[in-house]
């Protein structure tokens, strides 16, 4: 563990963070030396500008970077005068510490929760280390609802390109909204604000040997906050621009971890969601403005090819838990050419519910089940891209809204067969 001398002196370099803090900002990192300096400066400026009187600590929870990311955290400097910041009454301490356990974002967050608890923090937030669009205002928007308004959990709200965030748009957001009845638009956004009480709750859960310790952490945090009736809200942060994903990272593996966590949480919280019928808005903070988003290119041919290969090979696997007429419908749409290809949202919602039921009823080993969903997800994503190709981002957002309504309409199907 490395600390700035201001934190607790050189003697504290090998100890857990001690003392007290009002605000903790956590940054999980792994080989992010190029971008983390900017993130730290934005956080530093945000804390200086909006929370000058609070005792604040920036904690970098690192997964064993080999590109001197911890050094970049500690060496990042900001000219406070250049952004008209007054002199702080208390120093902002920085700590860079490696986390233990399963390598992944979840384990990094666990270390941050632990620090928040030991420092007695009132409000915390976590931000990604590869952010390029983070501004000091993000810190205000993630922390102030907790510190000033008494919320326990703050989800981010971004402007995104219509082709961006496809797992969120097609599965995570609609399912979370239909089940728990709260319209949190970015349940796996990556940046969150939360209270010290919430951090204590997270830390007390025994999930750190599961996919929650990896990419499942975001959906887990949001779902636990919703299912356990914590006070939740969302804050509009503008556009999220970050580094392209690590080419070595397996995005299919990410899909399996995120959707697998969603399925297991759905099973765990059946009692909490079974009575919920309608979805309501959550309080939203931040000033909504038009923002240019980075266009996302989509390889439609590849997605459609993956879908068709899945349909022609996985029928026998799906037959265990999907009705014959649904499989016939899939076969029919897989015959369509690219131009006429459409994967109806009603069919998609029904299939996702069938997969949730199959997961709950242990029809297949979890990993097999989720991997057999991947080709269908590609098919639905390709269809969505075709549907919204000529639309603006706002119109595409309306289309996502209609997908959510379809999930809500079919929730009874899930309940009847649970």
Partner 1 sequence: MDRLAGEIMEHLKVFYGKATGFIPGLLVMLIIAGLGFILASIVKFLLRRVFRAIKFESWSEEVGLSSAFRISGIWTPPGEFIILFTYWLVILMFFMAGLGSLGIETANRLIEIFFMYLPRFFSALLLLVFGYFFAGFLARAALLAAVNAGVQSSRLVASSVRLMLLILITAMALEQLSIAPRIVFAAFSIAFGAIALALALAFGLGARDSARELIEYLVKRKREKDTKDTIDML
Q: How far is the CB of 126 from partner 1 (least distance, A)?
A: 15
Cα–Cα distance measured from residue 372 to residue 275, given in angstroms and rounded to the nearest whole number: 30
The nearest distance, CB 343 to partner 1, in angstroms, is 17
Q: Are 8 and 18 in contact (CB under 8 A)?
A: yes
Rounded CA-CA distance 115/43 in Å is 17
| Residues near partner 1 (CB under 8 A) | 163-168, 188, 190, 218, 244-245, 247, 251-252, 254-255, 258, 296-299, 302, 305-306, 309-310, 312-314, 317, 320, 361-365, 368, 371-372, 374-375
Measured on CA atoms in the order 176, 180, 181, 183, is the torsion positive or negative?
negative
- Nearer Cβ to partner 1 (218/224): 218
Q: At what angle do helices 105-118 and 196-204 cross, to 10 degrees?
A: 120
**Residue 350 or residue 371: which is nearer to partner 1 going by CB?**
371
CB-neighbour burial class of residue 288 (10 A; exposed 0-12, middle 13-18, buried 19+): exposed
Closer to partner 1 by Cβ: residue 23 or 364: 364
Which CB sits closer to partner 1, 81 or 297? 297
Mode of pairing for the β-strands spanning 123-128 and 232-239: unpaired
Nearest approach, Cβ of residue 36 and partner 1 (Å): 19
Least separation in angstroms between CB 163 and partner 1: 7
For partner 1, give the closer residue by CB, 194 or 378.
Answer: 378
Q: Would you tell me how many other CB atoms lie within 10 Å of the CB of residue 25? A: 33
* Least distance in angstroms from the C-beta of 311 to partner 1: 10
Nearer to partner 1, 78 or 188 (CB): 188
CB–CB of 215/104 below 8 Å?
yes
Instruction: Pull the structure tokens for residue 282.
Output: 């959550």
Least Å distance, CB 161 to partner 1, is: 9
DSSP 59: E
């Amino acid at each position: 563990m490395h600390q700035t001398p201001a934190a607790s002196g050189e003697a504290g370099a090998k100890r857990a963070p001690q003392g007290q803090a009002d605000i903790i900002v956590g940054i999980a990192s792994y080989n992010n030396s190029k971008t983390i300096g900017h993130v730290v400066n934005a956080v530093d400026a945000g804390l200086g500008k909006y929370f000058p009187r609070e005792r604040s600590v920036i904690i970098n929870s690192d997964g064993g970077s080999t590109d001197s990311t911890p050094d970049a955290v500690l060496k990042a400097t900001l000219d406070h005068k250049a952004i008209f910041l007054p002199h702080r009454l208390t120093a902002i301490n920085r700590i860079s510490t490696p986390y233990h356990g399963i390598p992944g974002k979840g384990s990094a967050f666990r270390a941050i929760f632990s620090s928040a608890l030991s420092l007695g923090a009132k409000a915390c937030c976590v931000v990604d280390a590869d952010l390029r669009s983070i501004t000091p205002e993000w810190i205000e928007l993630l922390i102030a609802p907790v510190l000033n308004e008494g919320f326990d959990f703050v989800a981010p709200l971004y402007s995104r390109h219509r082709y961006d965030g496809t797992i969120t748009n097609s599965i995570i957001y609609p399912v979370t909204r239909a089940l728990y009845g709260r319209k949190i638009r970015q349940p796996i956004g990556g940046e969150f604000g939360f209270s010290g009480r919430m951090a204590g709750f997270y830390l007390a859960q025994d999930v750190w040997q599961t996919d929650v310790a990896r990419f499942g952490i975001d959906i887990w945090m949001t779902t636990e906050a919703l299912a356990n009736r914590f006070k939740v809200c969302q804050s509009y942060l503008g556009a999220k621009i970050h580094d392209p994903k690590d080419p070595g990272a397996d995005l299919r593996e990410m899909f399996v971890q995120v959707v697998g966590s969603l399925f297991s949480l759905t099973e765990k919280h059946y009692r909490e969601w079974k009575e919920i019928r309608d979805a309501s808005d959550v309080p939203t903070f931040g000033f909504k403005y038009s923002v240019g988003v980075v266009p996302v290119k989509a390889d439609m041919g590849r997605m459609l090819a993956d879908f068709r290969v899945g349909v022609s090979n996985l029928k026998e696997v799906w037959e265990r838990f999907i009705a014959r007429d649904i499989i016939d419908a899939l076969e029919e749409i897989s015959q369509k050419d690219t131009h006429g290809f459409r994967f109806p949202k009603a069919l998609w919602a029904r299939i996702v519910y069938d997969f949730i039921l199959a997961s709950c009823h242990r029809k297949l080993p979890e990993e097999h089940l989720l991997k057999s969903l991947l080709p269908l997800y590609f098919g639905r994503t390709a269809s969505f891209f075709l549907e919204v190709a000529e639309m603006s981002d706002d119109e595409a957002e309306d289309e996502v809204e209609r997908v959510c309504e379809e999930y809500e309409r079919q929730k009874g199907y899930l309940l009847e067969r649970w």
